[in-house]
Amino acid sequence: MSIGKVFLLSLLFLTACEDKKKEVVPVVEPVAAAVPKHLYVSTGACYSGTNTTFTAANSSNQSYRLSLTNAQKELSIADYYSLPANAGDSPVGLVDLDATNIMIMVENTSGRRIEKLSKANSPTRTIFSNNATALSAALKRIAKTPDGGYLVAKTSGIEKLTSQGVRLGAPYIGNALGATCGTTNANINNVAVTPSGKIIFTNAAASNNRWGIISANGYTVAADCLGAQTAPDVNAYPVAVQYITSHNQIMVAYAGNSLSVNLNSIYIYDFDDTTNAISNATKIYDSNTYAAAGYLLYGISSMVYNPDDRTLFVATAISNATTVVNYSIEKLIYNPDTKSLTRASTTPFYSYGVDTKCISSLMIAE
184 HSE (CA, 13 A, CB side):
4
- Per-residue confidence at 4, pLDDT binned at 50, 70, 90? low
Residue 323 identity (one-letter amino acid): T
Contact 239, 300 (CB under 8 A): yes
**In this model, does residue 21 exceed pLDDT 80?**
no
CATH of domain 35-365: 2.120.10.30
**In this model, does residue 69 exceed pLDDT 50?**
yes
> Cis omega (within 30 of 0) on the bond before 46?
no
- Per-residue confidence at 19, pLDDT binned at 50, 70, 90? low
As a whole number, mean pLDDT of residues 45-73 equals 93
As a whole number, mean pLDDT of residues 99-121 equals 98
pLDDT score, position 202: 97
Whether the full predicted model's pTM is greater than 0.85, yes or no, is yes
**In this model, does residue 27 exceed pLDDT 90?**
no
pLDDT score, position 6: 46
HEC profile of 259-306: CCCCCCEEEEEEECCCCCCEEEEEEEEEHHHHHHHCCCCCCCCEEEEE
**In this model, does residue 20 exceed pLDDT 60?**
no
CA distance 226 to 177: 11
Mean pLDDT for all residues in the chain: 92
| Residue 183, SS3 per DSSP | coil
Concatenated DSSP letters of 195-260 = TT--EEEEE--GGG-EEEEE-TT--SSGGGEEEEEE-SSTT-EEEEEEEEGGGTEEEEEEE-SSSS
Digit-coded pLDDT (tens) for 310-338: 999 999 999 998 788 899 999 999 999 99
- Per-residue confidence at 185, pLDDT binned at 50, 70, 90? confident
CA distance 155 to 94: 17
pLDDT score, position 100: 97
CA distance 89 to 92: 10
**In this model, does residue 114 exceed pLDDT 80?**
yes
pLDDT score, position 7: 46
* Residue percentage of the chain with pLDDT more than 90: 82
- Per-residue confidence at 54, pLDDT binned at 50, 70, 90? confident
Radius of gyration of the chain (CA): 26
Digit-coded pLDDT (tens) for 256-278: 999 999 999 999 999 999 999 99
As a whole number, mean pLDDT of residues 194-206 equals 95
Concatenated DSSP letters of 102-171 = EEEEEE-TT--EEEEEESSSS--EEEEE--TTTT-S-EEEEEE-TTS-EEEEETTEEEEE-TT--EEEEE
Contact 329, 73 (CB under 8 A): no
